Amino acid sequence: MAAFAKRHLLLRKKPAQHGVALLWPVHAYRVQYAEAQGKTLNLFQRAVLGLARAGCREPLEMSTLLGLHQQMVLLILAQCNSHAWIDSQGRPTENGLALLDEEEDRSVDLKAGVLFRDALSGAFWPRIVSMDGLSEIESAAQAGELPMFRLNRAEGGEIRPHVFAAHQDLPAPFDTRDIQQAYRAYRLDYFNARQLYGRAEVGAEVRAQGIELMHEQAEPMYVLTWVTPDQTGERSWRVCDPLALRQQVPWLDDTFDSLLSQPRQQRLARRLATMIGKPQAEQQNVKEWMQQLEQELDLELLTEHPWAGREKLIGRYFRVLSWRTRVMEQAFGRHELESALTDAQKLCEAVCQWIVRRYPGKTDLIPNVGYRDRALNERLLEATELPALTPELIRRLASQDTKKVRDVLRGRSESLKAMLFAALVTTMDEPEHPFRHLAPEALAFDRLIKLADLRNEATHASGKEFHMTEVVQAAKFALQWTSQLKEWM
């Protein structure tokens, strides 16, 4: 069978952890984009400052016009005020007006870059690379042989990667909106990585203002990456980020697992079995072996956390977060920061979801509205008569979308704040509810809301960088908050 591509890209360093090298087939699209020079304002600051110049200075009105949460608007206004772009009345200063004029008149440079479309799943990767950032590696194999690479001495000798065969030589048609969606996902991923690891760790961002295809026809390429053991135990292995923005990328997990379950991937399965030290029995196929690994993980969860036998999702997040916390405390966990924040929030969400399942039947308390009803929300929270719910906490939680709270009560998963709201509603007429037996300082709803806000800051362009101590404290709080509820599980 002819090779899918003759060009091989190496866009990340070899991981320090032992792993199996992979050649992942992609369709590379050359694109052109405009990049502003010397940009000072981010997208949100420019929008808010522009509304202020137009005479709109009420945060609530700005929130409605921009489709942003009011707290986000207040944060942006505070940033503009601290830079002296607006005054205390919300009016743009001379500096602010001059900056807006400069932004609007500033010339742009046209740049060339590459977007990658997975030749296995057909999805665009949430990554973009400038043409200057492309780095090719030549195969040292003889004609007709499988690719083999020689890296520098510091990174090891020969690499003989496992090669995935593309499902099709020609990419299927796609919607141009897929490109914009991939770029937005890249921006979000970049903000997360920069704010958690620092700008120096993640490198320069590709800032595009409009992306256009330079060529309709994509070029087939292979990208070299690795699959390594997942030390958390959440999975058996993790696929490393091919472009090194993150340590690993969950958006490749499903494709990798589906490939691995195919009979023709037995060779790769044997290499993975050696890598993680759990051999595959001769009579097992790959699918049976993967199911066995999952069962072993479940058994380990049950042994370490007996209450996880009934609440599997809570037990799994608890175990994974415990491991990440230990790694961070040993100062080895720079790449665990965002994962720890995510898992801390997911753990608390899983607890709230369990509470809603344990104490159902309160859906009829909330009218079937399709909007945010702050007055109704406040009345519902006040009706719980929980000592731990202070007026300030009620005010903060009342901003939740009423429909989403109702959806949680009907079994859907939403944000942590919405799920906490729903869990609080279930306390009505439930004298044995755990929230009625724990002291206000143990429930610590203010810290739970702070955890939700901390994670939200990581997913917006707030400019905040997160430090190890801050994330470790948040992770330990989530573990402690969950542990005090296990006797009800």
Backbone φ and ψ for 108, nearest 5 degrees, come out as -120, 150
Handedness of CA 4, 167, 113, 12 (dihedral sign): negative
Residue 123: DSSP 8-state: P
pLDDT at 449: 92
Q: Which residues pair with 320 in a beta bridge?
A: none
Closest CA to 209 of 100, 102, 107, 66: 107
Joined tokens for residue 179:
């490109």
Helix, coil or strand: residue 189: helix
H helices of 277-330, in order, are 286-304, 312-329
pLDDT at 420: 94
The Cα–Cα gap between 268 and 266 comes to 5
Residue 397 CB-half CA count within 13 A: 29
Helix, coil or strand: residue 157: coil
CB 351 within 8 A of CB 314: yes
Q: What CA–CA distances, in Å, run from 256 to 46, 120, 271, 272, 290?
A: 41, 9, 14, 12, 12
Query: Domains in the chain and their CATH numbers?
Result: 8-36+110-260 (no CATH), 43-105 (1.10.10), 305-488 (no CATH)
The Cα–Cα gap between 398 and 392 comes to 10
Residue 318 CB-half CA count within 13 A: 25
The Cα–Cα gap between 287 and 272 comes to 13
pLDDT at 120: 92
Q: What CA–CA distances, in Å, run from 198 to 69, 341, 461?
A: 25, 16, 13
pLDDT at 461: 44
Handedness of CA 364, 367, 372, 376 (dihedral sign): negative
Query: Is beta strand 219-229 parallel, antiparallel or unpaired with respect to 237-239?
Result: antiparallel
Q: State the pTM of this model.
A: 0.61
Query: Is beta strand 237-239 parallel, antiparallel or unpaired with respect to 149-150?
Result: unpaired
pLDDT at 328: 75
CB 320 within 8 A of CB 333: no
Cβ neighbours of residue 375 closer than 8 Å, sequence gap 6 or more: none
Query: Is beta strand 219-229 parallel, antiparallel or unpaired with respect to 20-36?
Result: antiparallel
Query: Is beta strand 162-163 parallel, antiparallel or unpaired with respect to 20-36?
Result: parallel
CB 299 within 8 A of CB 306: no
Per-residue pLDDT of the chain (489 residues; tens, 9 = 90+): 457 888 999 998 888 888 999 999 999 999 998 875 555 677 788 889 999 999 998 999 998 888 888 888 998 998 888 888 999 888 999 888 888 877 665 555 688 999 999 999 999 999 999 988 889 998 887 766 788 898 775 555 788 999 998 876 677 888 888 898 899 889 888 877 777 777 777 788 888 877 888 888 899 999 999 999 887 767 788 899 999 888 878 899 889 988 887 878 888 888 888 888 776 666 677 777 767 766 676 666 666 677 766 787 888 888 888 878 877 765 545 556 777 888 899 999 999 999 999 988 677 777 777 667 888 889 889 988 999 999 999 999 988 888 888 888 888 888 899 999 999 999 988 889 999 999 999 999 999 999 988 866 655 444 556 678 888 899 999 999 999 998 888
The Cα–Cα gap between 407 and 482 comes to 23
Neighbours of 373 (CB within 10 A): 19
Residue 231: DSSP 8-state: T
> Distance of alpha carbon 90 from its chain centroid, rounded?
34
Residue appearing with tokens 């120096």: 200
Cβ neighbours of residue 476 closer than 8 Å, sequence gap 6 or more: 325
Interhelix angle 312-329/468-483, nearest 10 degrees: 150
The Cα–Cα gap between 444 and 438 comes to 10
pLDDT at 309: 62
Cβ neighbours of residue 361 closer than 8 Å, sequence gap 6 or more: none
Joined tokens for residue 415:
């944000």
Q: At 227, which helix (H) or strand (E)?
A: strand 219-229
Largest CA distance in the chain: 76
Residue appearing with tokens 């032992």: 18
